[in-house]
Amino acid sequence: MPAKVKICGLDREEAVDAAVEAGAAMAGFVFYEPSPRNLPIEDAAKLIRRVPDFVESIGLFVNPDNTLVSRVLDQIDLDVLQLHGDENPARIEELKTVTGLPVIKVLKIAEADDLEDLKAYERVVERFLFDARAPKDMRNALPGGNALSFDWRLLAERDWDTPWILAGGLTSENVADAMRVSGANSVDVSSGVEDRPGVKNVGKITAFMDAVASV
């Protein structure tokens, strides 16, 4: 089965079109104001209308309240919620009840012990996304998209019932190695296909997709 790719933080029509044309399975849109990738709801709605039905439209939120999620869903047909904050299993269940949507929960990884949190979430989420945990002394760190990677060997030869996606500092230069080492068959990229935070590069999107296809 070909690997699935999520291009996250899509910012304009050309980037959406490039991701779809290159074969991305998931298109990610950020609804978190401190992020340079954040989109006004009206702008995101225009972009998501360009995403075909066979590509999942995923909304990224960080500790959202019900009001924000409802405002987004009033204008946008998302397929999946991606939760990138400190949402606990009970909060995830509440959001699933409110929205009727499946959830990708992000777990931030720096060491093997960080994977212990997975057990608590397995019964309430449809997928996990493993991203790098930013160091405590990192200035201006975001919940994700910091161009940081972690030791992919932490995921090697693991057997979980819940599907998962590898993220964290992936680029066209390292994604093939990351997939081989970790065993990932789904990957997520944001900073690795940008000229600067929040500005996607169409050529880098295509190169990333080509690198994944080579595995």
Q: How confident is the model at residue 145 (pLDDT cuts 50, 70, 90)?
A: low
CB distance 79 to 56 below 8 Å: yes
Q: Which residues are catalytic?
A: 8, 131
**With 90 as the cut, is the pLDDT of residue 136 above it?**
no
Domain CATH code at residue 138 = 3.20.20.70
What is the structure's pLDDT at 148? 81
Mean pLDDT over the full length of the chain: 93
Over the stretch 104-125, which tens digit does the pLDDT of each residue have?
999 999 999 999 889 999 999 9
* Beta partners for residue 191, in sequence order: none
Query: Which of 43-52, 95-104, 154-163, 166-175 is least confident?
Result: 154-163
**With 80 as the cut, is the pLDDT of residue 134 above it?**
no
- Strands 80-83 and 103-109, by their bridges, are parallel
What is the maximal distance between C-alpha atoms in the chain?
Answer: 43
**With 80 as the cut, is the pLDDT of residue 144 above it?**
no
| Overall domain count for the chain | 1
- Specify the pTM: 0.94
Which residue range(s) make up the domain with 98? 4-213
